[in-house]
Structures are given as structure tokens and as C-alpha cells.
Structure 1
Amino acid sequence: MAVALRDGRRSVTSWCRRHTIGGDGAVAAVRRGQRSGEAVILSRDQELDLIETIRGCYPDQLGLDDDLWTRQSVAVLAQRRYGMRLEDGDVSAYLRAWGLGPREPTDRACGLCVDAVVDWLERQYPAIVRSAQEHRAELCWIGRTRLHGVVPAADVLSAVSVRGRVRFIVATPNVDPALPRDFLLRLSGPDCRAVQIVVDGSWTRAEWPRKLPPHIVLHPLPSCGR
């Protein structure tokens, strides 16, 4: 009986960690489909090619100005590759389809963790907001989602600021599941801006980088994996 209980707890924890990021993304052309008379911005092949170009690559490696992928850098890349100018709303629609964008804190938790997240929002999060304000730090939330509709499937690591700014990378297959140190450093930028980051249950504390500069501060969102 004790073994069964331990196995049950492990399976519940595993299920919880798989669902802490609030849902998976999908290639926009697959998710939306095409209705009669609907304008097509990028073809499915172009969208897949765009994702493959971004996968495992930072914008500055392709001659773009951003340290991480943003709505603006995706639009510039699409114009360079396909000669198509995407409006802000078009790019935002693709990013939402890929699983990126603002989400409610409780959407980042499984059903077993929602109460803990609500309590954390009331008791601890206000102090994090005050600390970010006092240190003039950017405050953002980071997580990982699985992008389907590409072969192989891709993990997308994203950071969403409290002002709604989205920055992300598309990881290469079989990448180390740990939270990448370089991703956090690029959030801070070359001028080492102060940044405070809420980390959802996509990573356990053991998967965080061991040493970070003092201007980068991580805060764990409650989850069953901690």
C-alpha cells in the first residue's frame, strides 16, 4: 500500500508539472484553419519555415537588434524572408497561437495548485512588485510551452513583462531541460538592467542556474514540483 501511495504521489506531481504552464501552443495555420474568404498572411509552409529559422537561434545571430525574439523582430524576419509586411495584430495572433502571451497567474497552475497560487498572489506577490519598483527593475513572468504542428515538436521559452511585452526563444530538440542561464542574461540585456522574474512550474528549483548576477532575481510560483 505504501508503494502504491508513493507511486500515486509521483504520478500526480508529474501530471501537475506538465500542466503548470497553462496549455500548449500550435502552428497557427493548423489551429485556425482557413474559412471561406479569410485572408492568409503566411502560408503553412512559410510559417513552418519561420519557426525553423527561429529555432535554436537568437535574433542578433541573424543580424537583428533584439537579444530575444519579439513581435517586432519576427515581423522584420518575415519581411526579409518572404517580402511580406505583417501588421502588429497579425504577429500577435501568431504568437498567441504558438502559446505565447499574457496569462492569468492561476492559468499557470494545475488544479491542485490554484489555491496556493491565489494565496501567494495575496501574501507574497505585492512584496515582489514593491521590490521591483524600489530597484527600478523590470518584472516579468517566464514559462515553457510545447509547440505542436512542427517536426520535431519544439519547446518555446517565453518571458512576459507586467506591461505585456513578450520575448521568447524556440529551443532545439533534446535541449537541456534546465532553465537556460543565457535566456535570463538576455532578458537583462547588454546594459545589465535589473530584472525580477517569476518562474512558473516549468522548472524546479534544482533546474535553475546556480549562480546569477545580483541584478537578476528569481521568484518561484507555487507548484507541486517544488
Structure 2
Amino acid sequence: MAAVRRGQRSGAQGTLSRDQELELIEAIRGNHPDGYGLDDELWSRHTVAALIQRRFQLDLDLRDVGAYLGAWGLGPREPRERACSLCADSVTRWMEHAYPAILRSAQEHHADVYWLGRTRLHGVVPPADVLSAVSARGRTRFMIATPSVNPPLPRDFLLRLSGAAGRTVHAIVDSSWPTARWPRRLPPRIVLHPLPSCGRDA
């Protein structure tokens, strides 16, 4: 899981030691940037870099921070990578027909489009899940939570994605959360779209 690049010594200037990386994960788990006085409601490269500077007095380049996030399973993924092999053709058809309509609606309403997913963060005790939202432009926002069996899609995650200003959000949800586990009675500004999946609840 550690994201130290080849040729760099763990703990050297510009990198985190293994212990520091684990401490960083624990600082993020179950917490949000605004709880540390940072100006965002979900974690991103910028807020993680700010927390690293504050906690370890290290000024990491955003590309280096992105390397850590990539090692944690965060970052853009192709739509077909978000579905099992049995669903690949369905996802391709969905991208050709449904996705352009979502983009048009988002543009008309000045909305953000995010791809939502969940991945297990290995190598940490206790285990952790990373809940991510990757924008159509590649911006990643996320939170770290303790995993549970059949977890619901967190309402708080979606509200924070919309932000205090109440931005309109179109969120494309992969098979991490079947529709039966989606929150009910969301504000109209948050619109959820299921990515085709053979395991998707009706």
C-alpha cells in the first residue's frame, strides 16, 4: 500500500515514512477536513497536502500526494473497470446512450458530475474502506471509513459532495452500493444514476 516511489528513502524529505502514512490514514479515517479547520468538506489532494504539512511539517508536491492517493485505490477509472466482465457490454451501451444525456442535463443546470465507488484499503489495522467521488474532470474527493457488511451509501458523503453552497450534483454510482442501499429523500439537487451491473438491485 505504501506509495514511496522507487529511488526515494522512506521518511526522506518529500516523502512519508510508513509510520507517518499509517498515522495520516488514521487521522483521516472517520474525520473530514473542516474538522481540522481546512476549507473543504471532503478530502482531496489539496486538503491531504495541508494536513501533511500541519502534522509532519512536510511540504509535499501535489503529484506526490496524488501518488499516495493512487496507492490507496483512489483516482480516475474507466467505466468498464467499474463493472464485472459480464456487465462490460451493458456499460459500453450505457456510455453511448445514457451518459451523454446525464452530461447534457448537468450542463443545463450547471451541475457537477461525479463517479462514486468504494475500495478496500489494505495494509491497515483495523481495515478501512475508501469512498471516492471522481469528477468528470478527474478531481478526486473522498473519505475513509471503517468497513461493514453491505454498507449503505452514506447520506453525509453525498451532502458533503454537494457542499455548503448546495451545488447540484449528478452522481454515477457503481456496484459498490446496490440501489436498495441508497439513501432516501435526498435533496433534489443530488441526483443518483446507477451504473449497469448484474448485481444491481432493481
* TM-score interval, normalised by the smaller of the two chains: over 0.9
Structure 2 counterpart of 1:171: 145
Gaps of 5+ in 1: 1-25
Calculate percent identity across the aligned residue pairs: 67
Higher relative contact order (CA 8 A, sep 6+): 1
SS at match of 1:170: strand
Residue 85 (1) aligns with residue 59 (2): yes
Match of 2:3 among 28, 32, 41: 28
Match of 2:99 among 111, 125, 128: 125
SS at match of 1:113: helix
Is the Cα–Cα contact under 8 Å of residues 142 and 157 in structure 1 kept in the other structure? yes
Structure 2 counterpart of 1:38: 8
Query: CA offsets, 1:128-161, max 9 Å, x none?
Result: 1101111110011010000001011110000000
Once superposed, what is the RMSD of the aligned Cα atoms?
A: 1.4
Match of 2:167 among 179, 189, 193: 193
Distance 1:225 1:204 in 2: 7
Distance 2:174 2:108 in 1: 23
Is the Cα–Cα contact under 8 Å of residues 27 and 150 in structure 1 kept in the other structure? no
Once superposed, which parts of structure 1, at least 4 consecutive aligned residues long, lie more than 6 Å away?
Answer: none
Shift of 1:201: 0.6
Match of 1:154 among 102, 115, 128: 128
Shift of 1:38: 2.3
Is the Cα–Cα contact under 8 Å of residues 127 and 146 in structure 2 kept in the other structure? no
Shift of 1:163: 0.9
Shift of 1:28: 2.6
Q: Within 5 Å, which residues of 2 pair with 1:1-226? A: 26-29=1-4, 35=6, 37-40=7-10, 41-174=15-148, 177-226=151-200
Bigger radius of gyration among the two: 1
Shift of 1:89: 0.8
Structure 2 counterpart of 1:23: none
Distance 1:130 1:39 in 2: 47
Which residue identity is paired with 2:76?
Answer: P
The TM-score, its normalising length taken from structure 1, stands at 0.83
Is the Cα–Cα contact under 8 Å of residues 75 and 85 in structure 1 kept in the other structure? yes
SS at match of 1:28: coil
